[in-house]
Structure 1
Amino acid sequence: MYLQANGFAGHDVCVDENDQLKDYMYWAHFNVKQTFESLRPKEVFVPHISARQGGHKTEDHDLDTLVHGPHSIQNGWEWYEMGFFAHWNPAGSITLLCFDVPAKAQKAIEKLFLSGITKLDSPYAAFTLISDELLRLYDSSVWRIRNHISQWETRRSQETDYFLLHEIARHGVHVNETLSVAARSLGALRQYHDVFLKNLSHGGNKPKIKTWDTVGSRLRFQLDLLQNLNERSVANNARIQNEITLAFNAAAQRDSMIQVEMGLQSTREASAMRAIAVVTMIFLPATFVSTLFGMNFFSFEPSEGRGRSSFTVSTHFWIYWVITIPLTIITLLMWLWWNATTGRLQASRFKMVTNAKIYPV
């Protein structure tokens, strides 16, 4: 459970039979998330499985590796989950164990210790060297997120890749989380250092004031710098949220412009249909009259010589009206029935959609 935490810090004190300091120990765990130039969403989700869940007997470290293993590098990010343990005694001897530190950071820490620039007669003097390298890792983590955001800002005019946009935001949230936890852990170590000095000054051992003050001031400075990096990470998250909002607003604006263009096109089509309807209304009466009088029910015989022309109507003209009027009424009734039926179906579908329950997925 502890190795899978996002960070912590603790300490312990051992005293002899005379209540004098015998051994002093402290430990800490820090997580750093590094992103690379090419980011893409992961295709496989690896669940977290507790060692006590489902009868699994896998060690915590192996379980942690399953969740945050090297497989994430192919997707463009990597987790550094580093652990530190220090054992110090008043004689000035210190044993420092470092776990899962990146190779480049290992060499940098080793170089700092071999340089001898810091006296190790304080239990927390060694950790100030480690904190310097941790700050470099956290600084790189924040700036890499910033680089992704800045690169995105230069491509606003291109097609929006929403998956990449949310991927940047996801990693930004993780970076902000690790910085907040790291600041609390480093703050806890600084408090442990202050308590150690206070208790040591009440005992028989008198510390070297200059050395202790130097360690304390360095821890406070490193804590301030880490908190400032956290503020920059918060600003990065605000920037990426602005980009997400802008992307959605731009998409909505494009959709709105398309809708406006479709509306204008519909208006032009409606104008054309109106013109066709007007022309039809102008010629329809004349067409009806010419068609009616062109039927065989009417007979027109021109005059021969000086005789009068004749125009006669068939006695069976009533058959036209007997067939036409009922057929017209039936057609109108069928149209009214079809219109009412489709209206009820649309109302039923609308009611079904509005009353439907939406379940989260």
Structure 2
Amino acid sequence: MSIVNIIEDLNPWDKKLHGLFQRQSTEKLTLIFTTRENLDKNSRLRNELFQRYSVPEYIWAKVCLRLQGYFGAEDIFSEDGSTVESHVTWFHFEIKYPFRLPKNKDRAVAEHQPPTPAQKDGKKPAGYAWYKMGVVTSWKAPDQHTIIFFDAEDSPAVGVRNELKCNCENVKVEPALRNPYWAHQFLLGPILACYDEAVWNLRDHVKALEQGRREGKHTVTNSLDSNDRDLNESSTTFNALHEILRHALHKTEILGVAIQTLNSICARKKIFEEERYSAETVAKEETVQNMVITKRCARKIAVYLDFQLSIVRSLEARARANEARIRSEITLAFSTVAQLDSRVQAEIGHAARADSYTMVKIAAVTMLFLPPSFIAAIFSTTFFEFTPPEGEKVSKDFWVFWAVSIPLTIIVFVGLYPGNRGLSVRKHISSAAHHKATTVGPTVASPAAPAANMV
């Protein structure tokens, strides 16, 4: 009897699943690789597949397809309801990949790393992509397993598919096959490797920003001047910072969902084993020796699942660190821009002060010529007659112009000169008016109050 049967039904015209449905499976392990597109186009094939392996139809509903992760399980009992004939689990993972930097020489490209998309129609790629991975496992007592892997054609699922095939091609008959969660240890490892690549890709982007800041390559955090070119580069850098922060937030979110999914798998495995290995079930189906071996295998699987759960938690810690680092870069960038803006405002203040000094000089010159011009305009009217006698060029009354203009100019300079004295006079007048408004305004003057206070 064959131990492993691998079916890759990635193209609708291959019809490899139809051949599987026409016979009764006798293999200990059956791997089915298909795509959502294939099953969407052929609803009859999907219904037959789900019915054969007791897969619930609602996992194909829109609400499940939109989720970033979930897990479910169901026991299929015999007709009399006394024993469990099969156990079905279904779970889903979704990964966001920020594509690696063009000159990333720190690490070798792993098999789970998706290729960076090429430029199409003159448009740059988005720089990231979402990938879904849906899996259904069906265990039929006592030791027959079927794994259905959706989205097997998309990258990085291709790397998961290849590693899964490699791990399962050498499967041997062993007591661990009697546990329905035996297959999960082979499934979760390659999937978590995809999460690892995605997290470290994001770390490379954060590291590149930090290194660029230290080397003085980022205008936001290193420029000393402010011109149009600096503003444009600053805007680009800020967009990059917030884009990476968005990736970091998504990364933390999907890793949190992955942890919940793994916790659900471990919890459901524990519930199944408590029911499966109860005293009543053991008395009916198992010998003492077989039960000891079966429980030992179950503990081994549980230890491995806990180890994978610890890996995801460590990746979540790394994702949170990436998020904190990029937030720190954004805070530093804003602080630097604020400092540059303060310098610019200070320079503008100095320039405005210099301009005010110039305006004071212009005002002084204007005030110097204003009274004589005013007097000259008055004396030029027909209300006065200053006609000199014949033979004289200047009127004897010309002294009147100077006698009026000079004192009037002095009065204007004394009253309106914008120096310290003028400012002090204006401050004194304004403070006196404010003092009177606060002391007199809120109260009602008494009839006996002096007239001087009744202002």
Q: What TM bracket, shorter-length normalisation? A: 0.5 to 0.7
What code does the residue aligned with 2:76 have? C
2:187 pairs, out of 121, 124, 130, with 130
- Three-state SS of the structure 1 residue aligned to 2:196 is helix
2:263 pairs, out of 177, 187, 190, with 187
Task: Work out the CA distance in 1 between the residues paired with 2:197 and 2:391.
Answer: 110
Deviations 1:57-96 (A, max 9, x none): xxxxxxxxxxxxxx99921111111111111123311011
Preserved CA contact (<8 Å) 2:164 2:190: yes
Q: CA deviation at 1:166?
A: 1.9
Is 1:150 the counterpart of 2:207 in the alignment? yes
Preserved CA contact (<8 Å) 1:124 1:193: yes
**Partner of 1:62 in structure 2?**
none
Task: Work out the CA distance in 2 between the residues paired with 1:179 and 1:73.
Answer: 28
Percent identity (aligned): 29
Is 1:198 the counterpart of 2:255 in the alignment? no
Alignment CA distance shift 1:113-1:283 (3 Å): same
Task: Work out the CA distance in 2 between the residues paired with 1:181 and 1:131.
Answer: 14
Q: After the TM superposition, which of the residue ranges 103-112 and 243-252 deviates more from structure 2?
A: 243-252
Task: Work out the CA distance in 2 between the residues paired with 1:93 and 1:215.
Answer: 17
**Partner of 1:23 in structure 2?**
86
**Partner of 1:4 in structure 2?**
66
Structure 1: unaligned runs, 5 residues or longer: 40-70, 318-361
- Three-state SS of the structure 2 residue aligned to 1:30 is strand
What code does the residue aligned with 2:126 have? N
Q: CA deviation at 1:252?
A: 2.5
TM (norm. structure 1) is 0.68
Is 1:80 the counterpart of 2:131 in the alignment? yes
Preserved CA contact (<8 Å) 2:74 2:87: yes
Q: CA deviation at 1:279?
A: 4.2
Deviations 1:155-184 (A, max 9, x none): 343233222222212222211111111110
Q: After the TM superposition, which of the residue ranges 94-103 and 30-39 deviates more from structure 2?
A: 30-39
**Partner of 2:312 in structure 1?**
226
Q: CA deviation at 1:230?
A: 1.3
**Partner of 1:340 in structure 2?**
none
Alignment CA distance shift 1:254-1:115 (3 Å): farther
**Partner of 2:146 in structure 1?**
95
Q: CA deviation at 1:287?
A: 7.2
Is 1:107 the counterpart of 2:162 in the alignment? yes
Deviations 1:242-298 (A, max 9, x none): 222222232232222212111110001111222333344456667778899999964
Task: Work out the CA distance in 1 between the residues paired with 2:265 and 2:124.
Answer: 31
Q: CA deviation at 1:2?
A: 1.5
Alignment CA distance shift 1:256-1:18 (3 Å): closer
Preserved CA contact (<8 Å) 2:101 2:205: no
Preserved CA contact (<8 Å) 1:14 1:22: yes
1:217 pairs, out of 291, 299, 303, with 303
Alignment CA distance shift 1:290-1:2 (3 Å): closer
- Three-state SS of the structure 2 residue aligned to 1:74 is coil
Q: CA deviation at 1:18?
A: 6.5
Alignment CA distance shift 1:93-1:221 (3 Å): same
Q: CA RMSD in A?
A: 3.3
Preserved CA contact (<8 Å) 1:168 1:240: yes
TM (norm. structure 2) is 0.55
Q: After the TM superposition, which of the residue ranges 108-117 and 286-295 deviates more from structure 2?
A: 286-295
Preserved CA contact (<8 Å) 1:6 1:30: yes
Is 1:267 the counterpart of 2:330 in the alignment? no
1:1-361 aligned within 5 A: 1-16=63-78, 17=80, 19-37=82-100, 74-101=125-152, 102-116=157-171, 120-156=177-213, 157-158=218-219, 159-160=233-234, 161=236, 162-202=238-278, 203-204=281-282, 205=286, 206=291, 208-282=294-368, 298=386, 311-313=395-397
Task: Work out the CA distance in 2 between the residues paired with 1:155 and 1:173.
Answer: 22
Preserved CA contact (<8 Å) 1:299 1:312: no
Q: CA deviation at 1:121?
A: 3.8
What code does the residue aligned with 1:165 have? L
Preserved CA contact (<8 Å) 2:199 2:315: yes
| Larger relative contact order, structure 1 or 2 (CA cutoff 8 Å, min sep 6) | 1
- Three-state SS of the structure 2 residue aligned to 1:75 is coil
Structure 2: unaligned runs, 5 residues or longer: 1-62, 103-119, 220-232, 402-455
